[in-house]
Structure 1
């Protein structure tokens, strides 16, 4: 199969940069249900714009290109060793070309391999079949949504839902709880795959395999079909909304599968996937290695609710304060005072006075210096000094996709990462360095909220997955420190202009994330009673 490596490379690029048609239609359907003047409506508009940008620029939809995971069917007699070698070569090539971010990290040393290759990466599952061609399916599932995967062992006592027994109703409660616990940290609105039965390992694999089903397919198992329909109807009643901002659209798809289990074990495994649902597949000629057929409709030219120009204009207007916010979208404090969200333009370094003037709901437009920082940097800064002055600065929870040429470094994708991982460090670092703003997605916890209040800081929620939209706001790469941490974890020093994000945690003790979680917990309780007998 002389063309096999090129075919795998094409599959990787397509999966990373171009959402399939069924996913685009699901996003468009979600947009039609959400008031465009709300925070969730704003987020969905920006998501739609980002999808179009990634397609046009052939750049990653999200900067976290995830763990490349292949499910492959091969004819009897095909060499799996040769297929694996070609996949490794294609992975390394796609990483060099900026279609994948280097994500393979040694679990003991923390060293990034730099080419997405290493022990256990990429993940490749082989199975033989009696067909004459090779089938390859690929999913790029980012770490933010992978971290919201969850597995239940029944019977169990679930928060807000009570006892979940070893029956269909217990499974129903597990799936609803899985959506609830994800909140906005997995870049909702999302898709979930549910694996019922198996052991701990096979249950998770079954759940992830469900994500390869088409969004609009119909489950042939009537009981599972009714379960999927129930979850799709009721999960959105939790009010979590896109990015966890509150709203009508929390879930875009639910697929469930079942396998036998041991008498002593009853596992329900849920694989959560963000809106950037990057999966594709191909049939490959076993003789030449050329692609014969794409397994999912390619998304090129399929709109997400409006024409591209209209989506672009709406996203720009919304994220620069032009959208009117619908009744009930503002936080309780603002609603009580009858005030409307404001657009605030700030340039770094930012004063404490300017920060304390901000309130939850304000749209902040940033210009000036921005410094990226993720897990490795936060751990380092706890015990060391910063290489740059961070007094009045902004830290961006982001691991960008970067390429270097003779002119220097260039940002290819730069959306936010999930912030809650930095909760053990963030408050101490804010106090130590005088940081005024933290940008990320999904919000942070009580320790960070207290530090924002005591030391004068805010948390700004960027739109998760909007890697092309935010990369466009980055005008210059000023330098980098700690490259030994690897490209995603290095501290990149950037100049930005017009970088828009929403205040969701302010210096007055207010947190939109805590409010939405409390509200959704109350709504979750309505699903305690049995539905499936």
Structure 2
């Protein structure tokens, strides 16, 4: 199969850069349900623009290109050892070309392999079948949504929902709770795959396999079809909204599968996927390795953009409370304390990326640059280097809650005035923002091309030994927009939405399926 490596490379590029047609239609349907002039409406419009930009530029839709997971069906006799070698070569090429971010990290040393290869990465599931062709399916599921996966062991007592028993109604409660607990941290509006039964391992595998189903398919099991319809009708009533900003659209798809279990165990496993639902598949000729057919409809020609991103003044939320504020780094405490939740901040000047490795380092060491009045961006960009230097290929925000143990201390230690990320942070950070004079700015998760366009220059980089995603990149930006969701006055939009959605969750306590 002399062309197999090229076919896998093309599959990786298409999956990373071009959202499939069924997913685009789901996003477009969600946009139609949301008021375009709200924070969630603005976020969905930005998402739609980002989808088009990624396709046009053949660049990653989201900077977190996730854990590559392949499910491959082969005829008897096909050499799977040689196929693996070609897959590894294709992944190395795609990483070098900036279609994938180097995401494979040694769990003990923290060292990044640099090419997305390592023990356990990528994930490849081979299965034989009696068909003649080779069926290769790939999903790129980022860490932010992977961290919101959840598994329930029934019976269980669930917050707001009471007892969930070992029956269809207990499963219903688990699914609704899984959407609630994700809030905006998994880059809602999202998709979920649900696995009923199995053991702890196979339950999660079944849940992730549901994400390979097409968004508009119909479950052949009547009870599960009813359950999927129920979840899609009611999960959006929680009011979590896109990015957790509050709103009408929290879930874009729900697929449920079932398998047998042990008498003593009853697991409900949920695989949460962000709006950047990147999965694709190909049918490959086993004699040549060439692609015979694509298994999911291409997104090319299916626009989800609609109207342009609305001006802040167009929003009913903004007319009473919010405004657009332009700031240039370094930022003063006075400017920061003038901001309120809901304000849209347009940043220019230098900002600095910082993720897990940097935050841990800064707790006990000095910063290589002056951070007084600075902005820290929770981001692990996709970067390429040529003779002119480093270039940003994708640069959306990462989930911020991971930095909660460090963020408040680092803010005060270095005089940082603003933190940019997604999904919000907790009470320790909120208290530090209030005491020190800082704000948390929520960027649109997954909008990696939208934000990369705002980055005009890479000024420098420190800590390359941490790997590209974890390094401290010093970036010159212009027109970088994000929403204040935690301010210096003790207000948190994230806490408000979570409290409101918790109250709404209780309406689903009574049995539905008997």
TM-score relative to the length of structure 2: 0.99
Separation of aligned partners in 1, 2:497 and 2:420: 19
What are the within-5 Å matches in structure 2 for residues 12-161 of structure 1? 12-161=12-161
Question: Cα deviation per residue 1:376-414 (whole Å; 9 max; x = unaligned)?
Answer: 000000010000000000000000000000000000000
Counterpart contact for 2:62–2:395, Cα < 8 Å: yes
Separation of aligned partners in 2, 1:289 and 1:532: 48
Question: Cα deviation per residue 1:129-170 (whole Å; 9 max; x = unaligned)?
Answer: 001110000000000000000000000000110000000000
Separation of aligned partners in 1, 2:392 and 2:233: 40
**Local SS of the residue matching 1:383:** coil
Separation of aligned partners in 2, 1:260 and 1:81: 31
Other-structure match for 1:333: none
| Residue 376, structure 1, aligned to residue 366, structure 2 | no
| Residue 443, structure 1, aligned to residue 433, structure 2 | no
Instruction: State the shift of 1:273 in Å.
Output: 0.2
Question: Cα deviation per residue 1:276-310 (whole Å; 9 max; x = unaligned)?
Answer: 0000000000000000000000001111152xxx4
The ranges of structure 1 where at least 4 consecutive aligned residues each deviate by more than 6 angstroms after the TM superposition are none
Counterpart contact for 1:155–1:166, Cα < 8 Å: yes
Other-structure match for 1:269: 269
Separation of aligned partners in 2, 1:392 and 1:267: 49
Counterpart contact for 2:397–2:445, Cα < 8 Å: yes
Counterpart contact for 2:45–2:305, Cα < 8 Å: no
Separation of aligned partners in 1, 2:425 and 2:336: 18
Separation of aligned partners in 1, 2:350 and 2:480: 11
| Residue 279, structure 1, aligned to residue 279, structure 2 | yes
| Pick aligned residue for 2:395 from 414, 424, 438 | 414
Other-structure match for 2:492: 511
**Local SS of the residue matching 2:376:** strand
- Unaligned ranges ≥5, structure 2: none
Separation of aligned partners in 1, 2:360 and 2:159: 32
Counterpart contact for 1:29–1:305, Cα < 8 Å: no
What are the within-5 Å matches in structure 2 for residues 417-428 of structure 1? 417-428=398-409
Separation of aligned partners in 1, 2:419 and 2:5: 42
What's the Cα RMSD here?
0.8
Other-structure match for 1:453: 434
TM-score relative to the length of structure 1: 0.96
Instruction: State the shift of 1:341 in Å.
Output: 1.2
- Unaligned ranges ≥5, structure 1: 331-337
Counterpart contact for 1:75–1:132, Cα < 8 Å: yes
**Local SS of the residue matching 1:479:** strand
Instruction: State the shift of 1:325 in Å.
Output: 1.7
**Local SS of the residue matching 2:226:** helix
Other-structure match for 2:467: 486
| Residue 431, structure 1, aligned to residue 421, structure 2 | no
Counterpart contact for 1:32–1:305, Cα < 8 Å: no
How many residues align structurally? 514
What are the within-5 Å matches in structure 2 for residues 111-510 of structure 1? 111-304=111-304, 306=306, 310=307, 314-315=308-309, 317-318=310-311, 321-322=312-313, 324-326=314-316, 329=317, 339-510=320-491
Separation of aligned partners in 2, 1:165 and 1:434: 51
Counterpart contact for 2:433–2:488, Cα < 8 Å: yes
Separation of aligned partners in 1, 2:360 and 2:5: 39
